[in-house]
Amino acid sequence: MSATELAVQDVNASLRLAQPKLPRWAPALVGVLAVAAAGLPALLLGWGVVPWLILAGVVFLVALPLWSLAVENRRAAVDRLMTSLVWTTFGIAMIPLIWLIWTVVKNGASVISVEFLTYDMRNIIGPGGGIYHALLGTLLVTGAAALISVPVGLFAAIYLVEYGKGSRLATWVTFLVDVMTGIPSIVAGLFALALFVLIFGPEIRLGFGGSVALSLLMIPVVVRSTEEMLRLVPDDLREASYALGVPKWRTITKVVLPTSLGGIITGVMLAVARVIGETAPLLVVAGKTDSVNLNLFSERMTTLPVYIYYQFTQPGIAPAGTGGEAPGIARAWGAALVLIAIVMVLNLIARIVGKIYAPKKG
């Protein structure tokens, strides 16, 4: 081979764009080897599963980037390191969520039955009874809170985005909304209790008071989510409407709101899911009852969070000679499972509605 041909080969090699790459199954292989390598000290030192997995994760995070650095290049090694860190942190974040769901399902699934969902706790001392009264109370109290919060939050967000840009009042409203977002739920319950005590007297406890307390927690979420959705609407759509002579209020109702409707509905559903599990304000102002009460403006009303609290704190007495736990514990787990299912359904509805009403692309 001549010197010219050798020189051409060297130039081609230096100009080659394709770099060596690890195979697609490289992360899986490294993961299996990391688990095996961490298993040896785990067996010798008598470690449990958790330390074994932690050591395997550390070995994986070190071995895969080093292999990539040796075969590929420094840039690819850093990319694999950061990708591995992201997936590792995601897995760590999922562990408590999966553990929580598994624990609730394991302890509560055996309690779920037609009787549990359709009976209340009236005159129930030992086993038996159900969550019917608490389930209806949750739906009524949360629904009334949504009826209060959605119009107030929606109109407040419209003012902040469409009418109050740069004004001092809008600045103060935004500041107060941010402050309300962080207030403890018990403070909202005490405020609602103080309000109704001033009007009706010190013995007042009713479901509508719980709705008012929940609305104080829900309004800031609705305002902030709606405000962000309205800001995402392009100003070109507004200007095109104004150019056609359409007044501002009609532009908002016919252009701005329909464009952002999917995000607004999603924010409202997430706000409902956020307050449906509140316990402290309802303990304070809505009270507790063992019977069905469908009147928000009369007498006490029990919700699922309050029901769970009292079943855990006052579980009753375990049947003699069985060695089992008190019946209230099982009922509390069952109610917790139903509450989680309701929250999951609300989130799924929010996702579906958001996709249906999302602006069409293309």
pLDDT digits (tens, 9 = 90+) for 195-211: 988 888 888 888 899 99
CA distances from 79 to 67, 74, 356 (A): 12, 9, 36
pLDDT (0 to 100) of residue 305: 92
**Statement: the pTM of the whole predicted model exceeds 0.95:** no
pLDDT (0 to 100) of residue 235: 87
CA distances from 340 to 2, 105, 276, 325, 344 (A): 77, 10, 10, 23, 6
CA distances from 283 to 270, 293, 345, 346 (A): 23, 16, 25, 23
pLDDT (0 to 100) of residue 51: 86
Identity of the residue numbered 22: L
Intervals of the chain under pLDDT 50: 6, 11, 13-15
DSSP state of 159: I
pLDDT (0 to 100) of residue 362: 54
DSSP state of 112: -
pLDDT (0 to 100) of residue 15: 44
**Annotated domain spans of the chain:** 20-100, 114-315+325-356
- CATH of region 114-315+325-356: 1.10.3720.10
DSSP state of 25: T
**In this structure, what token pair is assigned to residue 172?**
């103060």
Q: What angle do CA 287, 113, 126 make, to 5 degrees?
A: 55
CA 165 vs. chain centroid, Å, equals 31
pLDDT (0 to 100) of residue 135: 92
pLDDT (0 to 100) of residue 148: 93
**Side-chain half-sphere CA neighbours of 241 within 13 A:** 17
Handedness of CA 45, 50, 53, 58 (dihedral sign): negative
pLDDT (0 to 100) of residue 4: 60
Angle between helices 74-108 and 327-356 (to 10 degrees): 130
pLDDT (0 to 100) of residue 53: 86
